[in-house]
Structure formats: structure tokens, C-alpha cells
Amino acid sequence: MKKKIVSLLTILMILISSVPSICFADDKGKAIVIDLNRTGLEDMLSIDSLSKKMEKEGYIGLMNIRGDRGTDDRRSYAAVGAGGKVTLPNQNLINFEEVNKGNAKAYKAETGHNPKKINDMTINHSLSENLENGSYGSVLGSLGQTLSNHKLRASVIGNADRVNNGELIKNRNIALMAMDNIGRVDDGNVDNINIKDNTMPYGIRTDYDKLKSETKKFYDNSDVLFVELGDTYRLDDYKNYLNEKTYNNMKKNIYKNIDDYLQEVFKMVDENDTIYIMSAFPSKEDYKNQKRLSPVIKFEGSQKGVLKSATTRREGVVGNLDIGVDILAKFGLKNEKMVGRAFEEVNKEDNISFINHEFDKMVSMLGVRTPIVNTTVGIVAAAWIICTVLLIFFRKKLPKKELVFSILKEFIKLGVVIPLAFIVSPIFNFATPTSITLGIFGTLLVLYLIGKIFFKDDIKYMAFFSIITIIVIVVDSIFGTHLMQNNIMSYDAIIGARYYGVGNEYEGITIGCAIFAMSVLVNYKKIHKWIAVVASLIILITSAYPSMGANVGGAISESVAYTLFLLLAFDVKMDLKKSILLSLVPVMIVCIFAALDVVSKSQSHLSGFVNQISVNGPIAIIQTFTRKIQMNVDIATSNILIVVALVVAGYMTKFIFKPANHFKKLSEKYPYIFKGFVATTVGCIVTLIFNDSGIVAAGTASIYILIPILVMSVNMMIFDKE
């Protein structure tokens, strides 16, 4: 009897002890991803049930959708599943079908694997295309594969199929999010979810009654559920066949159906579930109008705010490659091959107005970026060229030459004021094209007048603005590079080549203006040389440290340029041995920053690069440098001003390294400034080699060679100031 009682108590204790683990597993809840493809931010927020829910809870973000070797819907879907940028074959080579006796054998024959409920019958095309032509080493289906490896089920419901001339054209790209590494999805319904409706685009629409029942069914049987509301895609694709009235009528009916469906979903889910409502790609009109960020909303918990991730380090902006990683994070999982980062929820009561303002600002900046930059740079470049030609060929014949060269000098000197005006003007937080433009030119005018009033000496004038510029860059780097993120001459979240840190445009300025400022101060004996050493270290750390400027290419070029300048300033004679030691400096610097990045877990570009090498091996290095070279080629073929500046700077290099006649006089008068020119020139060469967009960085660094040399030459040859 005692043995029975002991046995019973033992069993009871085991059952009781297992309850917490069972509850813990259930507490993680489920994840539902609902896609309203080709839906803009304004339209998404116009859905009644969604907007009402957003008043109380939910985190909203704008999602970058840039792909690898092209940007389109299918690449965006696949990026979610891969956790990285991918490239894919044509749409007709992506063919998801539900399994049947016939295609099951075909799938196994082509892949060598057993099919699941839904399979991409042509998956080998996608795998080959991404493997052979992909630039980032991303692995298709990483999300689905990780879920499968941990016994978590994924299901897909819906499609964006359309009918053209009686032929069904399949579009089941939603499955690219959920599939495993060989194109399989555990469960779902992608074949039988639409009904005929001649009042809708292409004569078909989603059967929402069936969608509701299927959602309930697969919600119960799945851990992660992906739902495609294909009507929004079909409406956008069909828009050119409609007039304004018929388009609005269809849109109204579609959004009413979606509203009813979302109400059912919100009632169905558990409090521990996570819902993502997103648009995988912008509408055609939004894309044309530069509104190339798609909305994503995450419902989890009862708070409200905006989304952020380590991919962007910017409130309200994330990447499509972050969604899959965030889904895995919900279940306590991760995949090292996925380079996206989990979302961070930033609480903000005015999240909708904040997102709208940020979106308007980014779109406006993208619109005015080219005209403002080209206009300002073009004026300075034209003045520089005219001044050079007149100085060399016509200075003795030119009437009123003092007046002419005085005016030209003022335009040329604007070249060192413009970078400061660009980085300071975001303080005003303007969001419209007109206000942004007026803010920039107003700032430029105020800065010019300050310099004109307080500095009569040209070199001190240029040094002053160089000092202020580098101070602003350093302070901005320490506090999160918010000015850099909103700077029209810096990177752009819509383009998505970079999101945070010191961009390559200002990396060149960081090299050029810092060295010029220090060289002038040392030349005029305003600071001791050792202060230049300390200043160089501060600038290097803030502009390259992973949690600040985060520019590893900049760390390489800066360390070489600054070290060379300091060696020359201390009159160290360079020989082969010292040159070899100089070349080892950037290696040491990068290793130190990489170690700090890994230890601090700041998740910067450098740590991502290190992680890619550890996962993919040396091929990651080749892919990265291939991208850098290709980017430099693309920029060189699209921006002639930068190329011309580099050609001129390259030609003048021989006069800098071996000054003769006129340049020798300048080097004797300003020895430290000329040593600065030498160091900056070497920095330009290094940044060309090691930076993506290095041609841009080299071009902006050369500003602080070309402008001072010409101004000093004019003063010597026209005004006899030397």
C-alpha cells in the first residue's frame, strides 16, 4: 500500500513540475503575417478596424524593400524568408503548387526530396540563380528551414493569381516567406482560395468566407501562418484598365472585405500571439513617386509606438530582411545565415504622425537631393575651373583682375562651407521640398556671412569651417548620427545602401577637413603637434567605432591618412620599412574595432561582415569586395563631377609630392599644410581601394586639396600675399 502511495505521489510531482514548461511553451503564442501587397501607408491606415486598433496599440514602421540585382515584389517576399537580400529568376520560374500524386513524383525527381503540402515545382531555378548571381550570400528559405528544424509548423493561405486572356497566371510569392531551403511549406491553401467575380480586377477575388474559415483552421494547426490578401495586388496591377471612378469603387469594396477579415483575425488570436500586417512592395504609383518604403505593423502586447532594428538604427525604419529574424526571435530562435535583425519596439504615443512626418521628409529629401547637391557643387566646380584657366592663361591680360579673382574666390571657398551647411540644416527637421531647400540655402548664407565678417584671411576662413565641420561630425557620431541620417549629401533610407553611421560622402570630408584643420593649426602654431595626435584618435574612434560612426572602410583610410600626417608633422623621414609599418596600421585598427564590435554586440556592418565570414567562409570576402568594386563603377559612370575632381586631384598629385616652382614656394611658406595635402592624397587612394562608394569619399576628400591650393595660388600670383 505504501509503495502505491509513493508511486502515486511521484507521478503527481512529475505532472506538476511539467506544467510550467508546458505553459511556457504555450506562452510564446503564434505568429500571423498578413500581406496586403501594393498597399501604401495612407491606404493601409484607412482600413477602419486597423486604424481603430492602432489608436490603442501596435508598432508601425517603414520597410526598405531594396533587393539584390534588382528590386521587385518577389525579391521582397524572398528577403523575408532568407533574412537577407536575394536575387531570383523571372516570375514564370516560381511555381508553388499544392501537392498531388502527379506533381509529388515530379518534385522528388527534380529535387531528390519528399514534397510537403505546398512546393515550388521549379525551386532549382531560384536556388541556382541566387547561388550563382547573388551578391550577399543569403540562403533562400532560411526562416522556414529554421522553423522546420525546431518542429514548428508554417502554413500559407492565399495567392495573387490573375487571369489573362482566359489563362491563369499564378502568383504565390507569399510562399517564398514560409518555405524551407528546398521550396517546401508544411501546410496551407494556395490553389483553392479565389472565386470568380466580374466586378473585381481580372474577374476574380479572394473568397473571404473561405479565407476566414481557412485562417481559423490553419491557425489552430500552425505555429506561423502567412496570409496573402491578393486583391490589393490585383487592383494595383489592373489599375491602368480602370478610370478613377471604377478604380475607387473596386478599392472601396476590396478594403471593406479586408476590414471584415481583419476584424475576425483580431477576435480569433490569443493575447500571446503576434500579428504582422505588411505590404511586401509599394504600389506602382508610390514607387514612381519615390515612396519606396512599404508599411509594416506589428501587434504584440498592449503598447504602441514605432519599429526599429539594428539594421537601420533609425526609429520608424526597418528592412524587409528583419521580419523573418523577428519571427524567429519570438520563439527564441535564430539562424546565423540571416543577416537581418529582430525588431525593437520604441514606445511613442504619436506614432502615426511621427511616421507620416518621417516618410514625407525622406521622400522630399530624395526629391531635392540631386538638384541641390548638383547646383551647389556645380557652382563651386565652375568657379574653380574658370579661376584655374584665368590664373594660368589670362591673369596678365585680364582687366580688373583683382575684382574678378576676388569674386571667384568667394564662390570657390563655398566648397568648404557647403558640407557644414548640409549637415547642420537637419536641425530644423523640415519635411517639405520647399522648406528643406530654403533651410539649406538659408544655413549656407548665414555661415558664409559669419565667415566673411570674422575672417579676412582666406586660410583661416577655410580652417575655421573645417574645424566646425569635423566637430559637428564627431558630436553627431557620439549621439547617434541623427544629423547624418537626415543630410541630403549623406545616405538615404529609401535607397538603403546605408542607414547609420558616417556615410562615405562625409567619410571623405572627415579625412580631408580634419587633416586640413590640424595642418593649419600646427602651421600657425595654434596647437602643439601632440594635440593633433589626440584629436586624430578622437576623430578616428568616433567616426569608425561600431556604435558611433561605424565606417570600417573609413577606419582604414583615416588611420593611414592621419598616421602619415602625424609622421610628416613630426618630421619623420619615410622609407620602405616605415611604409610597411604604416600599411599595418589599418589592419590593427580593423582587428581592434572588430573585436570591440563582437564584444559589445552592437550589430554593426563590421560585426555582420565578420559573422558572414564565419558562416560562409572566404566567399563572403569576395562577394563584399565585388559589390564595392561594382558600386564604384556604377558611381563613376553616373557622376561625372566626381570623376573630373579625382582626375584633377590625381594630376595635381605630382606637384604635391614633388613641388616645383610655384608649388615649391607654397610648400616652403606652408610646410605643414602641404604635408597635410600629401596625407590627404594618400587617404584618397586608400579609400578608393577599401570603401564601397570609395570614389565618392575620395572625391569629397579632394575638396580640401583642390580648394586651398587654388586659393593660396590666387593670393600669391594675383594679390602678392605670399
Q: Are residues 151 and 245 in the same domain?
A: yes
pLDDT at 553 over 90: no
Q: Which residues contact 513 (CB under 8 A, 6 or more apart)?
A: 416, 419, 466, 469, 470, 703, 704
CA distance 498 to 710: 34
Q: Could you give the C-alpha distances from 15 to 12, 24, 27, in angstroms and in order?
A: 5, 15, 18
- What's residue 642's pLDDT? 57
SS3 619: helix
pLDDT at residue 585 in the model? 75
Domain boundary (320, 349, 378) is at 349
297 near 51, Cβ under 8 Å?
A: no
Question: How far is Cα of residue 722 from the mean position of the Cα atoms in its chain?
Answer: 48
Residue 136 inside a domain? The answer is: yes
> What pLDDT score does 629 carry?
56
| Cα distances (angstroms) measured from residue 152 to each of 22, 145, 220, 262, 524 | 15, 10, 13, 24, 69
**Same structural domain for residues 325 and 392?**
no
C-beta atoms surrounding 108 within 10 Å: 13
pLDDT band at residue 6, thresholds of 50, 70 and 90? very low
* Residue whose C-alpha is closest to residue 211's, from 133, 271, 159, 251: 159
pLDDT at 689: 78
Residues 693 and 625 in one domain: yes
Q: Please report which confidence band the pLDDT of residue 17 belongs to, taking 50, 70 and 90 as the band edges.
A: very low
Distance CA(418)–CA(399), nearest Å, equals: 30
Q: Are residues 330 and 412 in the same domain?
A: no
Q: Are residues 581 and 691 in the same domain?
A: yes
What would the pLDDT profile of 657-716 be if each residue is shown by its tens digit?
Answer: 666 677 788 888 999 999 999 999 888 888 877 776 677 888 889 899 999 999 999 998
Please tell me whether residues 243 and 370 are part of one structural domain: no
What φ, ψ does residue 678 adopt, rounded to 5°? -60, -50
Q: Is the domain of 331 the same as that of 434?
A: no
In a domain, 17, yes or no: no
What are the pLDDT digits (tens) for 99-150?
A: 998 899 999 999 999 999 999 999 999 999 999 998 888 999 999 999 999 9
Q: Indicate if 227 and 365 belong to the same structural domain.
A: no
Answer yes or no: is 2 within a domain.
no
Cell of 388: 584655374
- Torsion on CA atoms 146, 147, 149, 154, rounded to nearest 10: -130
The whole-number pLDDT of residue 21 equals: 40
Scan for cell 591618412, then name that residue. Answer: 561
pLDDT of residue 11: 52
d(CA 712, CA 721) in angstroms, rounded, equals 9
Please report whether residue 163 resides in a domain: yes
Bridge partner residues of 274 (DSSP): 31
Res. 212: pLDDT tops 90: yes
DSSP bridge pairs for 167: 164
Whether the pLDDT of residue 484 is over 50: the answer is yes
- What is the band of 79 on the pLDDT scale with cuts at 50, 70, 90? very high
What is the per-residue pLDDT across 626-674, written as a single tens digit (0 to 9) for each?
655 555 555 555 555 555 555 655 655 655 666 667 778 888 899 999 9
For residues 10 and 80, give the distance between their C-alpha atoms in angstroms, rounded to a whole number: 47
User: Does a structural domain hold residue 13?
Assistant: no
Within a domain: residue 1?
A: no
3-state secondary structure of 409: helix
Across 664-678, b (16+ Cβ under 10 Å) vs e yields: eebbeebbbbbbbbb
Averaged pLDDT, 362-388: 93
Range of the structural domain that residue 664 is part of: 360-717
Predicted pLDDT of residue 20? 42
Task: Report CA 431 to chain centroid distance, whole Å.
Answer: 20
Distance CA 705, CA 681 (A): 8
Question: What does pLDDT average to over the chain?
Answer: 88
Separation CA 330–CA 31 (nearest Å): 8
Residue located via cell numbers 472601396: 252
Is 469 within the bounds of a domain?
yes
- Answering whether pTM is above 0.85, one says yes
- The answer to whether residue 703 sits within a structural domain is yes
Phi and psi dihedrals of 167, rounded to 5?
Answer: -105, 130
Whether 129 and 182 map to the same domain: the answer is yes
CATH number at residue 290: 3.40.720.10
| Mean pLDDT, residues 367-386 taken together | 92
Cα separation, 22 vs 510, whole angstroms: 56
Looking at the fold, whether 366 and 325 belong to one and the same domain comes out as no
Using the CB atoms, write b or e for 496-509: b if 16+ within 10 Å.
bebbbbbbbbbbbb
Secondary structure of 538-587 as H, E, C letters = HHHHHHHCCCCCCCHHHHHHHHHHHHHHHHHHCCCCCCHHHHHHHHHHHH
Alpha helical stretches, state H, 297-432:
321-330, 351-389, 401-424
Domain boundary among 287, 317, 349: 349
Burial of 600-624, coded b for 16+ CB within 10 Å and e otherwise, reads: eebbbbbbbbbbbeeebeeebeebb
The model's pLDDT over 283-334, given as tens digits with 9 standing for 90+, comes to 999 999 999 999 999 999 889 999 999 999 999 999 999 999 999 999 999 9
Helices marked H in 112-141: 123-133
Mean pLDDT calculated for residue range 232-243:
97
Whether 668 and 687 share a structural domain: yes
Q: Which of 349, 372, 389 is a domain's end point?
A: 349
pLDDT of residue 426: 95
| Residue 202 reports pLDDT greater than 60 | yes
Beta bridge partners of 33: 226, 276
Count of domains forming the chain: 2
Question: By the 8 A CB rule, do 414 and 379 touch?
Answer: yes
Query: Is there a single domain that holds both residue 377 and residue 298?
Result: no
